Amino acid sequence: MTIRSTGGRVAAVAWFAFAVLNLADLAFNITGKGGPRYTVTTATIAVLLLLGCGIAYVAGIRPAIIGDEEAVTIRNPLRDVRAPWRSVREIEGTHAVTVRFAGPGGTELKARAWVHQTSPRAQAKAEARARRDERHSKIPGARLKGRTPAAYAAQRLNEIRDRNRPRTRSGAPDKAAAAKAAGDATPARGTITWSLPALASLVVPVVLLVVLGVVAALN
């Protein structure tokens, strides 16, 4: 299961298209007269466009929530969180999808997903709408319409987590089976790491801007 922000990805792709067209114009002077002019100003504009692409990448393309058979992964703009299901303590979907899990050394960590963040006001409206629909409708699942995207994502992740719990021979989740599996295997630990590509996409253009600023000042 992979959850992404459709709006964020559309906005990022739109910026990429805008940046590519403008970079091509700077390189070949498509809309102007005469040949291309390579100056500190045009280089600065090009680097600003690249910086915008970096921001579009980390804010629109990268963020995702991924649930597979082994773990839940949260990709935020600059950091990656990966928690094996055995390390997960709780998954909630309130203002955002949050995962509580055991980290390195057994410390308890909490990660909040960038995707599907909801304001407290929007959440309160959704909960009120869900209660009203459930009260007045006889159709099973009427409450589903009032859930926020964060709550729905948390429910789906919890379902995947339940499917991957240690089970008895009958197939039902069992505390004894879970304890045995925990004793037989190395304790599961989640991790939070910085994303080097995401950092590079922002740091490199900023460094280039500083260099161009120094060059412009010297000239």
pTM: 0.80
What is the model's pLDDT at position 143? 47
185 and 77 within one domain: yes
pLDDT of residue 189: 93
Give yes or no: residues 208 and 185 share one domain: no
Same domain? 13 vs 52: yes
Give the span between the Cα atoms of 219 and 217, in whole angstroms: 5
Structural contact between residues 73 and 66, judged by C-beta atoms closer than 8 angstroms: yes
Sheet holding 2-3, edge to edge: 2-3, 64-67, 71-75, 79-84, 191-194
State mean pLDDT over 33-39.
80
Answer yes or no: do 120 and 205 share one domain: no
Q: Which residue has the higher pLDDT, 136 or 179?
A: 136
Question: How many beta carbons lie within 10 A of that of residue 74, not counting itself?
Answer: 26
Mean pLDDT of 101-111: 92
Average pLDDT, stretch 27-42? Answer: 84
Query: Domain limits at 57?
Result: 2-62+196-218
| Number of domains present in the structure of the chain | 2
- pLDDT category at 149 given cuts 50, 70, 90 is confident
Question: Which has the minimum average pLDDT: 20-29, 30-39, 99-108, 154-163?
Answer: 30-39
Residues 82 and 189 in one domain: yes
